[in-house]
Amino acid sequence: NYVLARLLIEKVTGRPVAEEMRRLILEPLGLTGTVQPATEQDIPAPHAHAYYRYEEDGEQKTVDVTRHNPSWISSGGDMISTTRDLQTFITALVGGRLLPAELLAEMCTPESKAGYGLGVFVQPTPGGGTVITHNGGMAGHAALMYSTPDGRTTLTAALNYVDDAAMSMAAAFQQATQRLVAEVFGRGQAGPADAADPAR
């Protein structure tokens, strides 16, 4: 879907999507910590490192995969940002600085089964509210971005981890995220994943 959007943007404008992102979003919002690399491997400093673990000849090996060519993921996740820039972006988005009101409303209207709007998820919180969110990650990096619909409360975070197919972080990541959302947006009320956790 995002690859198709990229191709459409480039066909209509005649310019690379990275140039359009800079012109329409990054520069107007002052997102100086955000880049959209094409094939470049360098990452602006300072930055966290990401790792990949694999087995070779019966031996576990862990390698640093921070620097790599991100073009394989294309516009499905090839942007590099900071938590400060993520906070600025989500606040501007829900605050109506990037889209006309009718387009923002359409974007934040979720499809009934998945809770996915047009590029964002619309999720209930344990406290009875709603958050607008889109999280993502690749190759040992992940980012969280949440906001109330009015932009008054936001949560952004970044993490790095060892990417290992035999040691999936999915469950732990989901549980940690649910606890964070409950603390920030649900007045500390435990969600379903937290209810069985006596340490909560």
Read off the pLDDT of residues 9-32 as tens digits, 9 standing for 90 and up: 999 999 998 899 999 999 999 999
d(CA 181, CA 187): 9
**Which residue blocks in the chain are alpha helix, DSSP H?**
2-13, 17-21, 27-29, 83-94, 101-107, 170-185
Lowest mean pLDDT among 167-171, 173-177, 186-190: 186-190
Collect all residues with Cβ–Cβ distance below 8 Å to 193 and sequence separation of at least 6. Answer: 174, 175, 178, 179
d(CA 80, CA 82): 7
- Residue 59 carries which DSSP code? E
CB atoms within 10 A of CB 89: 22
Residue 166, pLDDT > 80, answer: no
Is the backbone peptide bond immediately before 70 cis, with ω within 30 degrees of 0? no
Query: Rounded mean pLDDT of 135-164?
Result: 83
Query: Rounded mean pLDDT of 127-144?
Result: 82
Exposed/middle/buried for residue 171 (C-beta within 10 Å: 0-12, 13-18, 19+): exposed
Strands 51-56 and 59-64, by their bridges, are antiparallel
> Which domains occur in the chain, in start order?
51-185 (3.40.710.10)
What average pLDDT does the chain have?
81
d(CA 44, CA 33): 8
Lowest mean pLDDT among 68-72, 112-116, 130-134, 141-145: 68-72
Lowest mean pLDDT among 44-48, 63-67, 103-107, 189-193: 189-193
Q: CA separation (Å) from 169 to 85, 92, 159, 165?
A: 25, 31, 12, 9
